[in-house]
Amino acid sequence: MSRFFDLVSKPARDMGTTNAPSTTLAAIERRSQLIKLDSNENPFGPSARAVEAMRSALSAANSYPDDGCGELRRKLATHHEVRPEQVLVGAGSTELISLLCQTLLARGLNAVTSERSFIIYSMAVRAARGQLIETPMRDDSFDLEAILSAIDAKTRIVFLANPNNPTGTMLEATVVERFLAQIPGHVVVVLDEAYYEFALRFAALRGVTYSNSLEYVRQEASVVVLRTFSKAHGLAGLRVGYGLGPAELLGYCARMRNTFSVSSVGQAAALAALDDDNHIQRVVENNVLQSRVLSQGLSGLGYRAVPTSANFVFCDLGEDAAAHADRLQNEGVAVRPLGPWGAPNCIRVTIGTAEQNQAFLQAAQRVVARGFGTGTQMSGLAREDREY
């Protein structure tokens, strides 16, 4: 037994180690030379406006930031047509997830979501000493009937990642509306829309409605909508996200938030990023075009690529994904093996630039040419051509 085993909390003991990459100097150097398609980062980075705002904010870095993120909250409220007290800004949407769990959960209470969803849900629920109930998936997406059946008197939160990470699948607005109509009053539904901008464009191309989530916020329903500046806005390194929901509930969550959790540089960048529609359009259009390139390339190699509504592609290799990811890394490309998500034969590939995606597909072809990956079944483009 280790020195601190009996001293640390049960969640800390049970959580297990993270799958963070090695921090040795040699590992850091190797990773810096990789094409990183493993973390769903924006390949174009932040907008020029955001970069300039960051530079300007640096001169005041000796002062603490606005703890309540007042200017950013007001701007987000105007942007989304809600009241400022219905907006809570945090250090990425992950902090908002943790705050909701700390506020709503305790020992003996539970949260419900699907298997193969955002891995942070499990970590946040367990850290709050709650139980996470994960229901089986249906066709790589949430089985909402199964989630409804799993809700009991001790359930306080339902997490719906829409689109889902890591499968990239999307729930249409009418489906979510029918689901919410059946949720009991003691449950808060968290609509995690981290990939909102990408999903909105895909939905328009497919002729469907993606989300009416803000209508629920305006009605003060028991719904919290999570958004982030990490993805389409390209500010992942600054950790700025926000929740939109009932003012009373977010007020309780705010009491649990760490002081000064969002830096002044992050707040300045987010304020500027909100105004740069041209940057978002460039990012989103590249994502649409390159999602098709990646999906067709992976299908051509004999893998099952699931049509995406996000900025990544979920791919079933039909073989050990961790070993396959290691081979790709030796070829200079990092992708995410999904064993920790309960999908040991699957990888998640971030949609990069045209050059990055071609480099990945060429690396994948070299791996196949050496005799790896031949155990998979040819499936053609997943679900025919439903990508648009």
Decide if 21-45+278-369 and 48-276 have a common fold. Answer: no
State the Cα–Cα distance between residues 231 and 193, nearest whole angstrom. Answer: 11
Sign of CA dihedral 137, 138, 143, 146: negative
Structure confidence by residue, pLDDT tens digits, 63-110: 999 999 999 999 999 999 999 999 999 999 999 999 999 999 999 999
Q: Provide the CA 200 distance to its chain's centre, in angstroms.
A: 15
Burial of 173 (0-12, 13-18, 19+ CB in 10 A): middle
Q: What is the mean pLDDT of the chain?
A: 92
CATH number of 48-276: 3.40.640.10
Selection from 355, 337, 358 nearest residue 346 by Cα: 337
Structure confidence by residue, pLDDT tens digits, 192-240: 999 999 999 999 999 999 999 999 999 999 999 999 999 999 999 999 9
- The token pair at 195 is 């990939």
Q: At what angle do helices 354-369 and 321-330 cross, to 10 degrees?
A: 110
Structure confidence by residue, pLDDT tens digits, 254-278: 999 999 999 999 999 999 999 999 9
Q: Return the CATH class of domain 21-45+278-369.
A: alpha beta
- Three-state SS string across the chain, please? CCCCCCCCCHHHHHCCCCCCCCCCHHHHHHHHCCEECCCCCCCCCCCHHHHHHHHHHHCCCCCCCCCCCHHHHHHHHHHHCCCHHHEEEECHHHHHHHHHHHHHCCCCCEEEEECCCCCHHHHHHHHCCCEEEEECEECCEECHHHHHHHCCCCEEEEEEECCCCCCCCCCCHHHHHHHHCCCCCCCEEEEECCCHHHHHHHHHHHCCCCCCHHHHHHCCCCEEEEEECCCCCCCHHHCCEEEECCHHHHHHHHHHCCCCCCCHHHHHHHHHHCCCHHHHHHHHHHHHHHHHHHHHHHHHCCCEEECCCCCEEEEECCCCHHHHHHHHHHCCEECEEEHHHCEEEEEEEECCCHHHHHHHHHHHHHHHHCCCCCCCCCCCCCCCCCCC
Residues for the chain: how many in total?
388
**How, if at all, do strands 333-334 and 131-135 pair?**
unpaired
50 with 233: CB under 8 angstroms? yes
Selection from 203, 208, 360, 165 nearest residue 288 by Cα: 203
Question: Model confidence at 1, in pLDDT bands (50, 70, 90)?
Answer: low
Question: Model confidence at 4, in pLDDT bands (50, 70, 90)?
Answer: confident
Structure confidence by residue, pLDDT tens digits, 166-200: 999 999 999 999 999 999 999 999 999 999 999 99
What's the pLDDT at 136?
97
Structure confidence by residue, pLDDT tens digits, 345-374: 999 999 999 999 999 999 999 999 887 654
In the chain, where the domains are located: 21-45+278-369, 48-276
Please check the confidence at residue 317 and state whether its pLDDT lies above 90. yes
State the Cα–Cα distance between residues 292 and 301, nearest whole angstrom. Answer: 14
Phi, psi dihedral angles at 269 (to 5 degrees): -65, -45
244 with 225: CB under 8 angstroms? yes
Please check the confidence at residue 384 and state whether its pLDDT lies above 60. no
211 with 180: CB under 8 angstroms? no
